[in-house]
């Protein structure tokens, strides 16, 4: 299939503009930041974006980079994380010049003729890679208490303000877990749809709220060894966690939390965010609930009439807009769990896409017959050590997502924009 280059290069140009907007206001000192295991130095990270784009769009057959020592500096599979602060990185000016030059060369390549299947695949890959790093830039800014970025898309948030209580009943049967081959682009960990048998189950119509999680905290949830798994309790002891990472007590005993560089009152009907898988697991035991499996989450999101093709999104096949999901950094924060009613799934669950990533029960493992795609470091190194999250968050780009999308982090991570919903036992 031959596809005009301009039909996709626009997404890549917009993704690059977003990347630059997310670092433009930061000082040179902030672009390096402190040495932490959960973030990258942003000056390294923006250079890595150009390197990745150059590797897959311009150098697939070999050849030299337009930047001397680029492979030694920016290959994330070869450069250990804790060394990235010690590298002799190009200056901010030279890094931006590298990014600009590579993007220009990619445009020249695509302008030279229509893009075939191979170029189109890698064009999508580098665009989505840049989108994922844009989300990482936002949680890095949160982690480091930097101010919120001045994104042009940020504006009025979707309305809401109350709970969305109760469970949705999902029938049992055989579901096809994973992506179908007719999807225009999927990552290797989504391949391919395969049958999974499910018993009927009940899943919460909304993610767990701040108010609900505060009840767990107030009931000494972080002090009760019996509701934590062995690994979870070991994490809690190491971390010293007594409540979600950005929560603090106000002068009147009410909970506050930090959003970027500001301390604000805790919104009771917003989903709890920045909680680890271990915290979600302990909450579920306290509440006599459980986390959904991946198959249950996907059945709730994509289910429909038997024999019909799965929905691409909970509401159907149309791409997400403001009415369906809180995505793309438009609100620069979460919204209440009853917002975005246009995104309800067929069984009545709300916000399965957007607002917060949702932890699921199982480990990140390959589907049957897994074969790594050309970007071999994307999935395979992390099987068995990470947990799966579904659905995207307020910072995720809508063009990335679909019901089969699998994100993955280690169960201790609470810097990412993650929450959870529960199932009845």
- Which residue is associated with the tokens 């959003």? 259
Residues above pLDDT 90, as percent of the chain: 88
Q: Are residues 119 and 233 in the same domain?
A: no
Q: Are residues 408 and 272 in the same domain?
A: yes
pLDDT of residue 347: 95
pLDDT of residue 251: 87
- Report the alpha-carbon distance of residue 138 to residue 141 in Å, rounded: 5
Domain end among 102, 118, 143: 143
Count of beta carbons in the 10 Å neighbourhood of residue 316: 13
pLDDT of residue 1: 37
Q: Are residues 368 and 316 in the same domain?
A: yes
Q: Are residues 85 and 226 in the same domain?
A: no
Higher pLDDT, 282 or 163: 282
- Report the alpha-carbon distance of residue 23 to residue 27 in Å, rounded: 9
Q: Are residues 112 and 222 in the same domain?
A: no
pLDDT of residue 306: 52
Q: Are residues 11 and 129 in the same domain?
A: yes
pLDDT of residue 155: 61
Does the residue 96 lie in any domain? yes
Range of the domain at 328: 156-425
Does the residue 1 lie in any domain? no
Does the residue 150 lie in any domain? no
Count of beta carbons in the 10 Å neighbourhood of residue 336: 24
Domain end among 119, 143, 167: 143
Distances (CA, A) of 232 to 226, 251, 273, 283, 364: 11, 31, 18, 11, 17
Does the pLDDT of residue 382 top 80, yes or no? yes
Rounded (10°) angle between helices 42-57 and 117-143 = 170
The neighbouring-strand residues paired with 290 are 423
Q: Which residues contact 230 (CB under 8 A, 6 or more apart)?
A: none
Does the residue 229 lie in any domain? yes
Does the residue 65 lie in any domain? yes
- The H helix count followed by the E strand count for the chain is 10, 13
pLDDT of residue 419: 98
Q: Are residues 231 and 336 in the same domain?
A: yes
Does the residue 44 lie in any domain? yes
Among the listed ranges 14-23, 114-123, 156-165, 376-385, which one has the minimum average pLDDT value?
A: 156-165
| pLDDT class of 308 with cuts at 50, 70, 90 | low
Produce one character per residue of 191-210: b if its CB has 16 or more CB atoms within 10 Å, e if not. Answer: bbbeebebeebbbbbbbbbb
Q: Are residues 125 and 178 in the same domain?
A: no
Give tens-digit pLDDT for 3-54. Answer: 444 557 899 999 999 999 999 999 999 999 999 999 999 999 999 999 999 9
| pLDDT class of 307 with cuts at 50, 70, 90 | low
- Note the pTM of the prediction, 2 decimals: 0.96
Task: Give the E-state strand segments of 260-380 in sequence order.
Answer: 262-265, 289-290, 357-363
Give tens-digit pLDDT for 314-370. Answer: 999 999 999 999 999 999 999 999 999 999 999 999 999 999 999 999 999 999 999
pLDDT of residue 304: 58
- Report the alpha-carbon distance of residue 418 to residue 416 in Å, rounded: 6
Does the pLDDT of residue 160 top 80, yes or no? no
Q: In the predicted model, what is the mean pLDDT of the chain? A: 94
| pLDDT class of 156 with cuts at 50, 70, 90 | low
DSSP result, 376-406: TTTTGGGTTT-EEEES--TTS-GGG--TT--
Rounded (10°) angle between helices 6-21 and 42-57 = 170
Q: Are residues 243 and 100 in the same domain?
A: no
* R_g of the chain, CA atoms, integer Å: 21
- Report the alpha-carbon distance of residue 263 to residue 286 in Å, rounded: 28
Q: Are residues 339 and 388 in the same domain?
A: yes
Give tens-digit pLDDT for 204-216. Answer: 999 999 999 999 9
Rounded (10°) angle between helices 230-239 and 277-286 = 120
Does the residue 357 lie in any domain? yes
- CATH number of domain containing 38: 1.20.120.450
- CATH number of domain containing 254: 3.90.1580.10
Q: Are residues 40 and 80 in the same domain?
A: yes
pLDDT of residue 381: 97
> Number of structural domains, the chain?
2
- Report the alpha-carbon distance of residue 57 to residue 9 in Å, rounded: 12
Does the pLDDT of residue 161 top 80, yes or no? no
Q: Is 184 helix (H, G, I), strand (E, B) or coil?
A: coil
Q: Are residues 190 and 138 in the same domain?
A: no
Give tens-digit pLDDT for 71-100. Answer: 999 999 999 999 999 999 999 999 999 999
Domain end among 109, 143, 177: 143
| pLDDT class of 62 with cuts at 50, 70, 90 | confident
Does 283 sit behind a cis peptide bond, omega within 30 degrees of 0 on the bond before it?
A: no
Rounded (10°) angle between helices 117-143 and 6-21 = 20
Does the residue 151 lie in any domain? no
């Amino acid at each position: 299939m031959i596809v005009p280059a301009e039909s996709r290069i626009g997404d890549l140009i917009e993704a690059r503009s977003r990347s630059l907007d997310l670092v433009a206001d930061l000082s040179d000192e902030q672009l390096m930041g402190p040495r932490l295991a959960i973030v990258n130095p942003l000056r390294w990270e923006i250079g890595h974006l150009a390197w990745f784009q150059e590797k897959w769009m311009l150098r697939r057959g070999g050849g030299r980079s337009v930047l001397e020592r680029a492979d030694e500096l920016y290959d994330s599979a070869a450069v250990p994380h804790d060394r990235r602060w010690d590298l002799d990185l190009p200056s901010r000016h030279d890094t931006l010049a590298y990014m600009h030059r590579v993007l220009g060369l990619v445009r020249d390549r695509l302008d030279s003729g229509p893009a075939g299947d191979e170029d189109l695949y890698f064009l999508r890959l580098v665009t989505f890679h840049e989108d994922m790093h844009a989300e990482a830039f936002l949680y890095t800014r949160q982690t480091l208490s930097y101010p919120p970025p001045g994104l042009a898309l940020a504006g009025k948030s979707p309305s809401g303000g109350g709970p969305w209580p109760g469970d949705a009943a999902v029938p049992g049967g055989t579901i096809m877990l994973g992506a179908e081959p007719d999807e225009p682009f999927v990552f290797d960990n989504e391949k391919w749809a395969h049958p999974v048998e499910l018993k009927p189950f009940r899943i919460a119509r909304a993610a767990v709220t701040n108010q609900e999680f505060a009840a767990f905290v107030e009931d000494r949830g972080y002090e009760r060894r019996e509701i934590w798994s062995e690994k979870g309790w070991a994490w809690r002891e190491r971390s010293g966690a007594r409540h979600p990472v950005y929560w603090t007590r106000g002068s009147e005993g009410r909970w506050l939390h930090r959003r970027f560089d500001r301390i604000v009152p805790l919104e009771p009907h917003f989903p709890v965010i920045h909680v680890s898988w271990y915290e979600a697991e302990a909450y579920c035991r306290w509440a006599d609930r459980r986390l959904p499996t991946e198959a249950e989450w996907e059945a709730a999101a994509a289910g429909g009439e038997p024999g019909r093709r799965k929905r691409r999104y909970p509401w159907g096949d149309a791409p997400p807009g403001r009415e369906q999901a809180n995505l793309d950094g438009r609100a620069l924060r979460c919204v209440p769990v009853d917002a975005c009613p246009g995104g309800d799934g067929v069984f009545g669950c709300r916000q399965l896409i957007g607002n917060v990533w949702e932890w699921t029960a199982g480990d990140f493992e390959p589907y049957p017959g897994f074969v790594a795609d050309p970007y071999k470091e994307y999935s395979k190194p992390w099987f068995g050590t990470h947990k799966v999250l579904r659905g995207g968050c307020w910072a995720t780009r809508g063009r990335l997502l679909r019901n089969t999308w699998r994100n993955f982090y280690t169960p201790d991570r609470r810097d990412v924009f993650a929450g959870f919903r529960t199932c009845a036992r």
